[in-house]
Structure 1
């Protein structure tokens, strides 16, 4: 066989030459260190802290982030053919200078942890497609007398990942003490060849921190051919935009004197705090011709004044013309078949048709399993693609001539709809217009018909009203609406507890617990306690569809899935133990019985029950016992003193009601005393906390109820909400005496 060595040399020589020119890791580290430490930066010269911050745990004297990015197309020879591959060169440097004022801050900054090397380079024959990121660190300590100590970063601990070429680093900061200033940087250098995704190059910075910031600067420098998009919101400064001699685009966000932000319960930082986003992408002309979905005439490229949301909505509507996004004939046909005759289908109430349709959508979406990504404990946590599911359902409803709208909405725990920056910043759902509106949401398997995720409730929505003109021709009219909000009667947790003292050891309680949950309150427990195989069977039976064996493509697939089901079933007990542990902040001594009576997957209510023993609720006091009775409602913490003043508005999960009906059986020869202190009644406009206690025969009967009236409150209502939290926290701390009779 004759080999053309000339051609082989031409292919290999550039690779060899390129490799010879590459600087070593240590050479790069030294160059970066000189660039950071030796380059004058007035922002990092100050070493004094204003008197008003002397009692803060730490103070950020200066913070900077510097990013430089270039991109271009280069040809890679793939032996048989050649392709144009985008090459991205990106470097970032994060630097902070922080005054350490107490032991809490000292502990936080006494160690730096970081990714050292992330290498996802792939090879094919003689060709490498690079994707490598290297990380470099530098640290110096400034003592109160002004002496600077450079930390030896070569003493870092390197941890290698056995599964790939990645490495992580951990660096201890020796001799760092309270009163010192730490000045450190973490710098990354990345070379990546291949497709360039805008989301990978998105930077979002909240201009808030747990420590006060005296000055900050975020600088982004992009090559002239790179498309850049940026947005400032909630009062964040706009970028100062300029160009340099090479026509690189430069964006700088700078400011001073940022007050500290105390992390608060029930908050939504992206609705309340200033932040900015900036992202970029680059595509060669070759990319525009060959990558599916790339539109070289994107409105964003033609007119950057158009809102990001409107651009994405235009793309969303245009995708209805895509022949690869078909209506879901499976769920349409199975819904019609469910009613057996055309007459029965035509006479069925709309909500009955929608229930069957939605259950068939669940079956078609969640009753199939990928063996390559099959983790039995993660199956309940799979999520549907809301936009794709909405498109398919919309086409199906149009075919069924069921009037409906598409609603576009953002989570109230992320950006607002007006501040959409990328496609993942909003979701879609469907509202069916009948005698009563019915909502179809596409998320996890446990979300029911007409159950709207609490994240969307009360939010402004863009309404797209579709009209079908042909198989792939849809037109839309656009308006706005507001997503409905549930009440505390729609989100309920109700527990019934029967508590007995152990005959063998009075300091051990046996608790029989029955829990009923609806609305928001059931969602987390459903995913944890309801077993995936049981859910699969429940949906299959409800929709008259094929069971696992019949729908399996082959015996190998069936055996693999069934084996995973059988093997995972033994972990159900662990899930019940974890639920009890979360409730009481300690594991049960023994879990005796446990079961799910009603999954709530196809109905409104989840019901589960368990029997278990618990320690640490009862203490011996001479011949008597002290029962920490408040613990029976689960852990509730009072508002800490430094959290009494609220900085931001209140975003609770939802309006909700939690009740506990408790019966504590008294052992023979004992009686309860001191129950009067258990009676509590606090009611205000934000909600209520009520607890009543009585003796029935010899037994203690407790009824405890907590209600939060609404999900969103102005921060002015925080004193009222704090009163409700503290009332529950005070009850949690309550004790009663079990007194021995003479």
Structure 2
């Protein structure tokens, strides 16, 4: 394992290293000099003596200054960690960092800033050794690694990461937000977060779930402001499955925004405090309304109006949904081939070659304003929805504008939700992490958003988000393996990842071309020679993608079923499922497997039929002790229908172990097994009924999770008649 600086630093940096340079020595003096209050700290409280490691001191610093048009941002992290067992010695035996970063701030470039890393080892006898990181490091896979020799139980690692990043900015600029829990995988004895800013730097900062408040430190200069957050005796926390740390643990969140004048403050993409001297801790409904008033209807509706005139719709709701899918093609998928041709250098200027001026929505604001124009012109009642993902806390904790999710609700019966386009996104769908959350609903009078209320988003059920597999297994005559025929269907939120993995661009752009009668990209190329060359190279690219896709899918099925020798894999898309949240993405697959799930037992054979439903959650003893609440993405179900063709001359025994039933308010695992003629029919359903469970109900979840896992261990006996 490694010390990973990429995981603990909030921003990205350009990095230059100077072995024992003046800057290096200054940084060492800053962290390890005479004023270091923790230079002699080595003792661990009795209560933590049995921990793997303990952080004696953790310090984070953020410093923001301006000099004319120049802005300077400094950040640093220091940790002093005592290793208490062999596991932590192994964990920290390799020190890893990344030497090159790119910066997105202002006009800074690769040589504009520098970052210094320091590391020293303190042995139990008090001997200190500063590691010459630059000279001892090796680069592996773009990471710089330093092996720490002779590390022992009882040693202390004291390291820092210090960055100075100057850049020019003549307008408003938002630094990357930081949202972090106080606790981590090891307990922390002393922790300090330090801020320093001056005029024109605005701070949104708040503490949650019992974290200490940020306090101001008196300064001698009116334009300089200092703040700190101090905490002690912070317990460790295991970051486990289905857990939202920012919701449950002591946490702080902040963003610093730079704006030189009032006009830049007005343009800021942030909920700014009224004055840079004020730490903004909350955002009111009125402030949310004031920010989103800028979302006014705007867009050229010519193509949408023509689409509406050329088609008939049963009702207003059907028209909204149809326009959404048409617009997805009009403003996104019709350009996909051109974008890919350009990115792969098949054609240097694809849009020039087609004399086509693309119009692609660049962000959710452009999307929302365009659809607001359509909804306004066709006299629909609608709301702009402002929500916050469940893992980031409740709506009343909204602090950072970047965390707000924006989409539209059209008030038909029932309502239709319209979210920013993705390649396979559906009408009446929004991010599943917003399901069931409180949101702001901003309504309009004429073209102006002027009224804000709160509402709650609907939530899907487990049967709406379904993964379904229909499998037929035929054993080889010599029982050396089997043939697998599968029909796979995914709907609701379950299909998005499947579509992304199993559809290449040709699968959906051709479908959209045909559905909307659009001229394909290739046919739009005006020069015949260029068109023929592009068509040939694009076809070659598709062939390569298909080959790679087949290999990936073969590896995927091997991983899912935990088998190694898969051959003759085939795959065929039946339905893309791209025109309705409740429609299924469907594909067939088949393959042959050798030496899998079957073992000879005298004249009979044992078959591990339970493994055909894939891997299941295997809870450890530590997992079973859970007391935390359970946060999942969405309710869902996984259903299997397995048919085993029983070999002639054999019968099946052991069905009783394949019939299971655990069903409670948190979920279920139910399986049945019957013999129908010469076939064994197995059905299973696994249901996660909610997206949240109280920690007190964890034992109920354990019940059905264990039953599902146990099923994968069940076998049948194919008995010679």
TM-score of the alignment, normalized to the shorter chain, above 0.5: yes
Partner of 2:13: none
Deviations 1:125-151 (CA, angstroms, capped at 9, x unpaired): xxx967633222222223334443333
Partner of 1:231: 206
- Say which of 707, 715, 735 aligns to 2:695: 715
Does 2:332 match 1:366?
Answer: yes
Partner of 1:420: 398
- After the TM superposition, which residues 309-348 of structure 1 pair with which residues of structure 2 at under 5 Å, given as runs? 310=285, 311=287, 313-320=289-296, 326-339=298-311, 344=312, 348=314
Partner of 2:152: 177
- After the TM superposition, which residues 619-638 of structure 1 pair with which residues of structure 2 at under 5 Å, given as runs? 619-621=599-601, 623-638=603-618
- After the TM superposition, which residues 162-561 of structure 1 pair with which residues of structure 2 at under 5 Å, given as runs? 169-194=144-169, 198-247=173-222, 248-284=224-260, 293=267, 300-301=274-275, 307-308=282-283, 310=285, 311=287, 313-320=289-296, 326-339=298-311, 344=312, 348-367=314-333, 368-369=335-336, 370=339, 374=343, 385-468=363-446, 473-503=447-477, 506-549=479-522
Deviations 1:281-310 (CA, angstroms, capped at 9, x unpaired): 33445xx77999459997644876584465
Secondary structure in structure 1 of the residue aligned to 2:549: helix
Between the aligned partners of 1:71 and 1:692, the Cα distance in structure 2 is 70
Between the aligned partners of 1:227 and 1:625, the Cα distance in structure 2 is 72
Between the aligned partners of 1:296 and 1:432, the Cα distance in structure 2 is 26
Partner of 1:685: 665
Partner of 1:12: none
1:724 Cα shift?
1.4
Question: Does the aligned pair in 2 maintain the 1:464–1:476 contact within 8 Å?
Answer: yes
- Say which of 702, 718, 731 aligns to 2:682: 702
- Say which of 97, 107, 126 aligns to 2:80: 97
How has the CA–CA distance of structure 1 residues 88 and 168 changed in structure 2, closer, same or farther, with 3 Å as cutoff?
A: farther
- After the TM superposition, which residues 662-681 of structure 1 pair with which residues of structure 2 at under 5 Å, given as runs? 662-681=642-661
Partner of 1:644: 624
How has the CA–CA distance of structure 1 residues 536 and 129 changed in structure 2, closer, same or farther, with 3 Å as cutoff?
A: closer
Question: Does the aligned pair in 1 maintain the 2:271–2:400 contact within 8 Å?
Answer: no
1:387 Cα shift?
2.9
- Say which of 131, 134, 137 aligns to 2:114: 134
Instruction: Number of aligned residue pairs: give it.
Output: 678
How has the CA–CA distance of structure 1 residues 495 and 290 changed in structure 2, closer, same or farther, with 3 Å as cutoff?
A: closer
Partner of 2:24: 29
1:31 Cα shift?
1.9
Partner of 2:571: 594
Between the aligned partners of 1:245 and 1:586, the Cα distance in structure 2 is 70
Between the aligned partners of 1:410 and 1:698, the Cα distance in structure 2 is 54
Deviations 1:573-618 (CA, angstroms, capped at 9, x unpaired): 2343354245335566124321110010014111111001234433
Secondary structure in structure 1 of the residue aligned to 2:391: coil
Between the aligned partners of 2:320 and 2:527, the Cα distance in structure 1 is 32
How has the CA–CA distance of structure 1 residues 24 and 107 changed in structure 2, closer, same or farther, with 3 Å as cutoff?
A: closer
Deviates more, 1:197-206 or 1:108-117: 197-206
Question: Does the aligned pair in 2 maintain the 1:103–1:178 contact within 8 Å?
Answer: yes
Secondary structure in structure 1 of the residue aligned to 2:592: strand
Deviates more, 1:458-467 or 1:221-230: 221-230
Partner of 1:583: 560
Question: Does the aligned pair in 1 maintain the 2:434–2:457 contact within 8 Å?
Answer: yes
Deviations 1:607-658 (CA, angstroms, capped at 9, x unpaired): 1110012344334445544322221101112221112233432222212221
How has the CA–CA distance of structure 1 residues 546 and 424 changed in structure 2, closer, same or farther, with 3 Å as cutoff?
A: farther
Between the aligned partners of 1:558 and 1:396, the Cα distance in structure 2 is 39
Deviations 1:536-557 (CA, angstroms, capped at 9, x unpaired): 1222333343333456688769
How has the CA–CA distance of structure 1 residues 145 and 301 changed in structure 2, closer, same or farther, with 3 Å as cutoff?
A: same
Deviations 1:133-181 (CA, angstroms, capped at 9, x unpaired): 32222222233344433333243325499xxxxx853221111123322
Secondary structure in structure 1 of the residue aligned to 2:392: coil
Question: Does the aligned pair in 2 maintain the 1:466–1:477 contact within 8 Å?
Answer: yes
How has the CA–CA distance of structure 1 residues 290 and 482 changed in structure 2, closer, same or farther, with 3 Å as cutoff?
A: closer
1:361 Cα shift?
1.5
Deviations 1:1-41 (CA, angstroms, capped at 9, x unpaired): xxxxxxxxxxxxxxxxxxxxx99872211221222222433
Secondary structure in structure 2 of the residue aligned to 1:318: coil
1:62 Cα shift?
1.8
Q: Could you tell me the TM-score, scaled by structure 1's length?
A: 0.83
Give structure 2 stretches of 5+ with no counterpart: 1-16, 346-359
Cα RMSD (Å) of the superposition? Answer: 3.4
Between the aligned partners of 1:363 and 1:33, the Cα distance in structure 2 is 57
Between the aligned partners of 2:569 and 2:514, the Cα distance in structure 1 is 30
1:274 Cα shift?
2.2
Partner of 1:655: 635
Deviates more, 1:232-241 or 1:48-57: 48-57
Deviations 1:111-135 (CA, angstroms, capped at 9, x unpaired): 12113354669999xxx96763322
Between the aligned partners of 1:408 and 1:253, the Cα distance in structure 2 is 30
Between the aligned partners of 2:601 and 2:87, the Cα distance in structure 1 is 38
- After the TM superposition, which residues 42-53 of structure 1 pair with which residues of structure 2 at under 5 Å, given as runs? 42-43=37-38, 45-53=40-48
How has the CA–CA distance of structure 1 residues 28 and 402 changed in structure 2, closer, same or farther, with 3 Å as cutoff?
A: same
Question: Does the aligned pair in 2 maintain the 1:212–1:257 contact within 8 Å?
Answer: yes
Secondary structure in structure 2 of the residue aligned to 1:644: helix
How has the CA–CA distance of structure 1 residues 175 and 291 changed in structure 2, closer, same or farther, with 3 Å as cutoff?
A: same
Between the aligned partners of 1:121 and 1:705, the Cα distance in structure 2 is 48
How has the CA–CA distance of structure 1 residues 498 and 191 changed in structure 2, closer, same or farther, with 3 Å as cutoff?
A: same
Between the aligned partners of 1:561 and 1:715, the Cα distance in structure 2 is 57
How has the CA–CA distance of structure 1 residues 103 and 365 changed in structure 2, closer, same or farther, with 3 Å as cutoff?
A: farther
1:43 Cα shift?
4.6
Does 2:706 match 1:734?
Answer: no
Deviations 1:200-259 (CA, angstroms, capped at 9, x unpaired): 343332112122222211112223443333222222211111243345321211111122
Question: Does the aligned pair in 2 maintain the 1:57–1:101 contact within 8 Å?
Answer: yes
Q: Could you tell me the TM-score, scaled by structure 2's length?
A: 0.85
Secondary structure in structure 2 of the residue aligned to 1:413: helix
Secondary structure in structure 2 of the residue aligned to 1:42: coil
Between the aligned partners of 2:106 and 2:667, the Cα distance in structure 1 is 62
